[in-house]
């Protein structure tokens, strides 16, 4: 019965034209036929055309098959912004292996949990990035993960693709359009990771819509300033949307203002996407890089975390471009402002749903829809929003009728535009990176000298939020540096390390009903 219902929903998405019966492997082939010798991707002085991207990803697909990767395998995908990244994505898409894109900042603890959860068999990884050597990390993950048996470093991919050796064509089983293309990470996971299965068809639908809303075309130049292993920068329209439109993707090695401003000038960038924290740094640094022009820049997308009205306005003024506010998540639903929206909408809202088939509701604590103008939690369903997590974990995040509960507090204005107000839960959004307090609390409580710990997000001008750890310690000599060192030894991503440690004597302040008074803790700040 359930399977039949699912099939009829899928059929409807196909009939209505939301889902195309194509995989990303077929799409890159189609785009190569259409855009042929146009430049698809640029990294420094290296460039590849659409034809080369298709041919090289086919060649790499054969290499992956030879290495033992096959249809249905989960693959940890930790590449940084470089030409090998799109080649490797498409090679995996072609053979139906499923990349789990992870940020360069993730470390042993997180990667191992993901690899175990998804039974990953392969790890595709950069060797070194921002002074961190990944080989030791890979070795550790291999030691702790039974299923993992193939490692392929980026250098091997590059050498293989650009050498004469190897096969350019081989036989392999191809995936279907409605099979899983990507296993994405949900922000702020703890314990068992929340992985999100996105199919070729549903994912590409959001790519198609966002490209059309941004009016991308063959003259578009997208700057991949932030990690292209994050869904916002991969598909909103990002890397994939630019390739769908015949534009050019420019890879920035790191999200640093000098690199971003230089590439905008040198490559004639027309569109880029930034989290607010990075946009702020670019604004601050712009006067020091006045030699770089941003004349070609038409759109800066701002999203991933709360965008202040003044920031959107300043970006438009300083860069002489249009801002597009975008709100979305790896689970699917995307809302954004449109290019012809008024300043009031662009500066003060996150716009509207991208598909006519999206169903977005703002609900109260009982799940009842509230009238426009009233606050509540945003829940959503539709043709590119998942209705369950991989292996059905955390089913409490979905309603019985298939809505994803975002955990975001929002209000719908009378004109239909949505304003995101913050989180309904405790998730800390630190410059776009998501951290669940309980994960850090548990790590802290594992230390001998720490009797109890509470982690809270606090407003921060630069990052939006910072992580504050309140601790009750049995050792008055315990220093912040010692705690940080211990956390580093636990091999967690560095962005999760608290920015501030506050000692609390003896016991937590309590509310009248005996609960820990977090408001009182925040006052201590």
Instruction: Name the site residues for ligand AMP (rule: CB under 6 A).
Output: 186-187, 231-232, 303-307, 325-330, 350, 406, 408, 420, 423, 429, 434
C-alpha span between 19 and 202 (Å, rounded): 6
Nearer to ligand AMP, 69 or 411 (CB): 411
Determine contact, residues 334/206, Cβ cutoff 8 Å: yes
CB of 323 to ligand AMP, least distance (A): 11
CB of 99 to ligand AMP, least distance (A): 16
CB of 186 to ligand AMP, least distance (A): 6
C-alpha span between 337 and 349 (Å, rounded): 7
Nearer to ligand AMP, 211 or 229 (CB): 229
- Segments of 289-369 assigned E as strands: 299-303, 322-329, 332-336, 352-353, 359-363
Nearer to ligand AMP, 41 or 345 (CB): 345
C-alpha span between 77 and 41 (Å, rounded): 19
Nearer to ligand AMP, 221 or 435 (CB): 435
CB of 167 to ligand AMP, least distance (A): 37
Which of 418, 427, 422, 425 has its CA nearest to residue 409? Answer: 422
CB of 377 to ligand AMP, least distance (A): 11
Residue with tokens 């250098």: 155
C-alpha span between 89 and 102 (Å, rounded): 13
Nearer to ligand AMP, 208 or 434 (CB): 434
CB of 334 to ligand AMP, least distance (A): 9
Looking only at the bridges linking them, the beta strands covering 74-78 and 122-125 are parallel
Which of 283, 282, 273, 264 has its CA nearest to residue 305? Answer: 273
CB of 423 to ligand AMP, least distance (A): 6
CB of 358 to ligand AMP, least distance (A): 15
Nearer to ligand AMP, 206 or 350 (CB): 350
Nearer to ligand AMP, 40 or 114 (CB): 114
Determine contact, residues 488/497, Cβ cutoff 8 Å: yes
C-alpha span between 375 and 418 (Å, rounded): 10
C-alpha span between 80 and 153 (Å, rounded): 12
Nearer to ligand AMP, 264 or 305 (CB): 305
Determine contact, residues 414/373, Cβ cutoff 8 Å: yes
CB of 442 to ligand AMP, least distance (A): 21
Determine contact, residues 205/357, Cβ cutoff 8 Å: no
Nearer to ligand AMP, 152 or 305 (CB): 305
DSSP letter assigned to residue 398? B
Report the chain's C-alpha Rg in angstroms. 23
C-alpha span between 151 and 522 (Å, rounded): 45
CB of 230 to ligand AMP, least distance (A): 7
C-alpha span between 325 and 69 (Å, rounded): 39
Q: Bridge-partner residues for 429, per DSSP?
A: 434
Which of 267, 431, 417 has its CA nearest to residue 353? Answer: 417
CB of 279 to ligand AMP, least distance (A): 12
Nearer to ligand AMP, 96 or 457 (CB): 457
Determine contact, residues 357/206, Cβ cutoff 8 Å: no
Nearer to ligand AMP, 327 or 347 (CB): 327
């Amino acid at each position: 019965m359930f399977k039949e219902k699912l099939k009829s929903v899928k059929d409807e998405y196909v009939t209505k034209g939301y889902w195309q019966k194509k995989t990303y492997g077929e799409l890159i082939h189609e785009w190569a036929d259409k855009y042929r010798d146009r430049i698809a991707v640029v990294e420094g002085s290296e460039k590849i055309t659409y034809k080369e991207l298709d041919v090289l990803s086919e060649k790499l697909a054969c290499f992956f098959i030879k290495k033992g990767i096959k249809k249905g395998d989960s693959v940890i995908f930790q590449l940084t912004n470089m030409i090998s990244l799109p080649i490797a994505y498409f090679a995996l898409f072609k053979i139906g292996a499923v990349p789990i894109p992870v940020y360069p900042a993730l470390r042993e603890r997180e990667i191992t949990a993901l690899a175990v959860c998804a039974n990953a068999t392969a790890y595709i990884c950069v060797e070194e990035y921002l002074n961190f050597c990944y080989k030791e990390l890979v070795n550790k993950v291999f030691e702790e993960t039974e299923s993992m048996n193939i490692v392929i470093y980026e250098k091997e991919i590059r050498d293989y693709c650009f050498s004469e050796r190897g096969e350019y064509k081989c036989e392999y089983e191809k995936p279907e359009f409605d099979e899983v293309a990507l296993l994405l990470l949900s922000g702020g996971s703890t314990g068992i990771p929340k992985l999100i299965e996105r199919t070729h068809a549903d994912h590409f639908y959001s790519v198609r819509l966002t490209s059309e809303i941004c009016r991308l075309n063959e003259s578009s130049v997208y700057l991949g300033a932030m990690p292209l292993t994050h869904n916002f920068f991969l598909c909103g329209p990002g890397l994939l949307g630019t390739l769908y439109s015949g534009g050019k993707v420019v890879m920035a090695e790191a999200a640093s203002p000098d690199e971003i401003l230089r590439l905008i000038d040198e490559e004639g960038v027309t569109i880029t996407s930034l989290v607010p924290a990075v946009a702020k740094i670019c604004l601050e640094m712009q006067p020091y890089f006045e030699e770089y022009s941003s004349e070609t820049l038409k759109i800066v997308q701002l999203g991933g975390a709360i965008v202040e009205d003044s920031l959107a306005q300043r970006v438009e003024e300083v860069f002489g471009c249009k801002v597009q506010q975008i709100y979305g998540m790896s689970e699917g639903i995307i809302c954004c402002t449109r290019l012809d929206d008024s300043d009031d909408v662009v500066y003060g809202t996150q716009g509207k749903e991208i598909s006519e088939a999206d169903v977005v509701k703002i609900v109260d604590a009982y799940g009842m829809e509230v009238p426009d103008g009233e606050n509540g939690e945003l829940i959503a369903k539709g043709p590119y929003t998942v209705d369950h997590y991989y292996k059905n974990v955390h089913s409490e995040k979905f309603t019985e009728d298939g809505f994803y509960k975002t955990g975001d507090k929002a209000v719908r204005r009378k004109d239909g535009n949505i304003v995101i107000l913050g989180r309904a839960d405790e998730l800390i959004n630190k410059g776009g990176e998501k951290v669940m307090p309980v994960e850090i609390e548990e790590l802290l409580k594992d230390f001998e000298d720490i009797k109890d710990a509470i982690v809270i997000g606090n407003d921060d001008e630069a990052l939006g939020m910072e992580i504050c750890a309140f601790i009750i310690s049995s050792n008055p000599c315990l220093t912040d540096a010692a705690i940080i060192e211990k956390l580093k030894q636990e091999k967690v991503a560095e962005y999760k390390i608290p920015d501030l440690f506050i000692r609390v004597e003896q016991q937590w302040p309590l509310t009248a009903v005996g609960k820990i008074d977090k408001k009182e803790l925040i006052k201590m700040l």
